[in-house]
Amino acid sequence: MRIKDLVATAISNTFRSKLRTTLTVLAIFVGAFTLTLTNAVGAGVSQYVDAQVGALGSPDVFIITQATDASTAGDGPVEFDASSSASVASNQGPPGTTTKALTDADLVTIGATAGIESVDPIRSVQPDYIEYDSGTPYEFSINATSAVTTADLTAGAQLDGGASEAQLVLPDTFVLPLGFASAEDAVGASVSIGITDILGEKHTVDATVVGVSLESLLAAGAGANDALIAELADAQSSGIDTAVTSYGVAVAHFDTTLSADAITALKADLATAGYTARTIEDQLGAVQTVINGIVGVLNAFAVIALIAAAFGIINTLLMSVQERTREIGLMKAMGMSSGKVYTLFSLEAIVIGFLGSAIGAGVAIGLGSALSAALSQGLLSGLPGLNILLFEPASVTFVIGLVMLIAFLSGTLPAQRAAKQNPIESLRYE
């Protein structure tokens, strides 16, 4: 009997006992359905977190501040040290913690640290408004670190950090109020940003919209490249005789080929020099760990359901072997080898596994996609860009393959029993 004939016979034999096969397939269906949904939840949430993390900075970037002094936090005011640089509020420690501002000398020291490729200060700007084509102006803010972030775009392109032209990535909530027909319509348009200097004089800076992004939960404001930040900072400080030489935060790029241990050592070197360096992973790595843990627990329940279904497959095939004892004896008496008998029953197990997993995954995708769309328009509408159930082809294929493997392993015992049948004794079986 050829392989093609074995497969056809296995499919036919699977439906001999329709009720028993259906119940076994339903048990597998539950496990495959659950596992497909939990993987989709994990993929959807992880994609959203990655998009939010991208709004905070690039993975090859340190956010650097002066080392935080929390020794006197909560003990009242800190005595002023005239020899130190100015202090700025800090969110890196307990309430009341302050950190010294970075100076140009600090930037030189950081840049000279082995492993650091470049370092740039973050210049904070507070624009007043944004308007398009002399229309209605709207209050407006800019994310100070946007030059090193990756926006979650709905249209256009990312900022070009090396461009001399002032570029802006506009939050999608501004598109319609400013008078654009769509996000695509806004890309390429020139907008005006108003800002007030230290003396109260009004200034206007023009910028080109290169992209439109979804709003981030972790980083508020529009994106601006270095050229736009520089123009706005110059306008904001135009009433000051001396240039600003202190900064709250700096951004340092490090070699992307460094290993995790080398990055840890580099942070230690900066800490020794008196600076705190944090990567995006440091800030939000725990969030991804929690998500992976929750998805792992949900997957564990699905695997338990699949294990229970595996016993159903064993029971179904053992009953089939017993009922078909004389048939097995006849097949072996007519020349079918033990190996082909084993293959036949193994294929029956795989067919049952495929039916349960394919139906379970298909129903999960259909119901999950409809549920995800409904939640995006309703309960989760406040989280733009979140696709709570993301079905990835590779993940769905993995689930189906895993279930078929479990089914094959479950069918090993019944298949071995069938292969070992003595044809003479089997033909005499009543």
pLDDT mean across residues, the chain: 81
Strand ranges (DSSP E) for 42-158? 61-66, 87-89, 98-100, 102-103, 116-121, 129-131, 138-139, 153-156
Which residue has tokens 């080398």?
262
Amino acid, single-letter form, for residue 342:
Y
Q: How far apart are CA 207 and CA 213, in angstroms?
A: 16
- The H or E element spanning position 264 is helix 260-272
Q: What is the pLDDT of residue 76?
A: 53
The 3-state DSSP class for residue 188 equals coil
Percent of residues, the chain, with pLDDT higher than 70: 85
> Residue 118: its pLDDT value, please?
85
Which residue has better confidence, 318 or 25? 25
> Is 70 exceeded by the pLDDT of residue 166?
yes
**Residue 240 class from Cβ within 10 Å (0-12 exposed, 13-18 middle, 19+ buried)?**
exposed
Backbone angles phi, psi at 286, to 5 degrees: -65, -35
Residue 69 is predicted with a pLDDT of 56
**Model confidence band, residue 397 (pLDDT cutoffs 50, 70, 90):** very high
pLDDT of residue 191: 95
Tokens of 108: 């030189």
Least confident of 165-179, 264-278, 314-328: 314-328
Q: How far apart are CA 66 and CA 82, in angstroms?
A: 17
pLDDT band at 72 (very low <50, low <70, confident <90, very high): very low
- pLDDT at 429 exceeding the cut of 70: no
Q: How many residues does this entry show for the chain?
A: 430
Kind plus residue range of the DSSP H or E element containing 205: strand 202-213
Kindly tell me if the per-residue pLDDT of 91 is higher than 50. no
- Residue partners of 110: CB distance under 8 A and separation at least 6: 64, 116, 119, 250, 252, 270, 273, 275
User: Of the ranges 94-98, 121-125, 276-280, 356-360, which one carries the lowest mean pLDDT score?
Assistant: 94-98
Read off the pLDDT of each residue in 26-43 and give the average, rounded to a whole number: 88
pLDDT (tens digit per residue) in 345-375: 888 889 888 999 999 999 999 999 999 888 8
pLDDT at 342: 86
pLDDT confidence of residue 27: 85
Over residues 46-66, mean pLDDT: 72
What's the pLDDT score for residue 90?
Answer: 47
Q: Where do the domains of the chain lie?
A: 3-53+286-427, 57-283
Higher-scoring residue by pLDDT: 301, 403: 403
Q: How do beta strands 167-171 and 202-213 pair?
A: parallel
- Mean pLDDT of the region 57-80: 64
Q: Which of 418, 427, 425 is nearest to 341 (CA)?
A: 418
Instruction: Name the band, by pLDDT with cuts 50, 70 and 90, for residue 168.
Output: very high
Give the 3-state secondary structure of residue 278: strand
pLDDT of residue 209: 95
pTM for the predicted model, two decimal places: 0.61
What's the pLDDT tens digit per position in 210-269? 999 887 766 678 888 888 988 998 888 876 655 556 777 888 888 778 888 888 899 899
pLDDT of residue 192: 94
CB 389 within 8 A of CB 41: yes
Is the pLDDT at 84 greater than 70? The verdict is: no
Distance of CA 206 to the CA centre of its chain: 35
Distance from C-alpha of 116 to C-alpha of 7, rounded to nearest angstrom: 61
231: CB partners within 8 A, 6+ apart: 166, 205
Q: Name the amino acid, one letter, at 384.
A: P
Q: What is the mean pLDDT of residues 415-424?
A: 79
